[in-house]
Each structure stands twice: as C-alpha cells, then as structure tokens.
Amino acid sequence: MKALGMVEVRGFLGAVSAADAALKAANVELNSEQRVGGGRRTILLVGDVAAVQAAVDAAVVIAKQLGCYCTSHVIPRADEAIAKLMGGKLAQSAESDDADKELITANTNNGLKTSETEPLEDLAGDSGKNSETQVALETEDIEEQKENFDESALRQKLMAYKVVDLRKKAYAMNVHGMKRTAIKFANKEALIKVIIDEVKRGGTF
C-alpha cells in the first residue's frame, strides 16, 4: 500500500500551486483534489513514504508563501478502506496489493513456494546441513592429521627450539595438558611433552 499525503489550502490558486510544487519536488502522483468547503481545497498525493513526505513539505512551503496554507498530513500506509474511499491511484494500489496476496495464497495452496512464503525451517534446515557437513570435513582432517603424525620427527624439531620459544608455542596452542600459569615455569622436556600431546589431540603446531 502506498503512502497518502494531504495538503489543505485556501482557494483554487493555492491548490494548483501547491500541487505543482509537490509533483516537481518528488516522484509522486496526484491522486485527487477535494473541495472541503468554505473555499478550502485538499490535494491528495500518492507514492512512497519518503517521496510523499518530500512532496508535502515542498507544497507546504509554496502554500505558506502564498498565504493560503491551512494544514497537512502524511499517512505512511493508508488502510485499505481509506484507499478505496479516496479512489484514484491509491485505490489502484490497494487493488494491486489484494491481487498480490491472492497470487501468494494460490501458489501456497498449489504447493509452490515463493521467496515470501518459504518456511523459515527450510532455510534453517539447509544451514544445519551445511554446518554438519563442515564439522564432518573438519573431523576427517583431524583424523588424517593423527594418522600421518610422526612423533619422533616433531620431537626432534621441538628440541631445536629454545625454552622461551616453546613457552610461546604452548601459549599460542592453548594446550590442555598444562595450565597457563604453569607454562611460565615449565622446563623444556615438559613443554615438548605437552605440545606433542596437544598435536595428538588434533592441535596445530
């Protein structure tokens, strides 16, 4: 449903000038012009909310300059009953919305899914499947790493490190076999052992 903008002025000149300013200011359509009585007239504008608001603001400026401004108001999403009462472009907008709803309902009843009616659980299901697949692949990688693990080669590699570097590695790997406070005082052999154990668990050195 489109937005409805209303600008009430005094006199025919004011109505024409306000409508002209509104139509030039934004992408809106003139729905109709209503005679209120006592020389007052109301112009009705239809379009997107932001466009209607900009158009109404422009119309108000001109109406005030001419000294014929009375009042104005914007209804962001006019009710279907109001739209049909106003007629014109606004009524067409209401009919278009009704047609869209009927199409969506018909597609749903026929077992077809549209982007607007697709159940959220289906989307969640796809996400869950992708998550399960990712976990399975990660598990396979860890298992392959365990199978190809050469403890003696890793031990020789670690022996070449200084104690301070081994401590940094242990902190970075967040090893499970030793508390972080204990890493600070651990000797070289203890650090090598805990790092090897962590790699066996699936950690990356």
73-97: pLDDT as tens digits:
999 888 888 777 776 666 666 565 5
**pLDDT tens readout for residues 131-173:** 555 555 555 555 555 555 678 888 888 899 998 888 888 888 8
Residue appearing with tokens 């992408």: 27
Q: Fill in the DSSP letter of residue 39.
A: T
The predicted pLDDT at position 116 comes to: 47
For residues 196 and 152, what is the distance between their CA atoms, to the nearest angstrom?
Answer: 10
Identify the sign of the CA torsion 114, 116, 117, 123.
positive
Helix (H) or strand (E) holding 41: strand 40-47
Residue appearing with tokens 């499947």: 129
Of the options 3.40.50.720, 3.30.980.10, 2.70.210.12, 3.30.70.1710, the CATH number for the domain spanning 3-106 = 3.30.70.1710
Instruction: Give this prediction's pTM.
Output: 0.45
The interaxial angle of helices 188-200 and 163-173, nearest 10 deg, is 30
Distances (CA, A) of 126 to 102, 123, 129: 28, 5, 5
Domain ranges of the chain: 3-106, 149-200
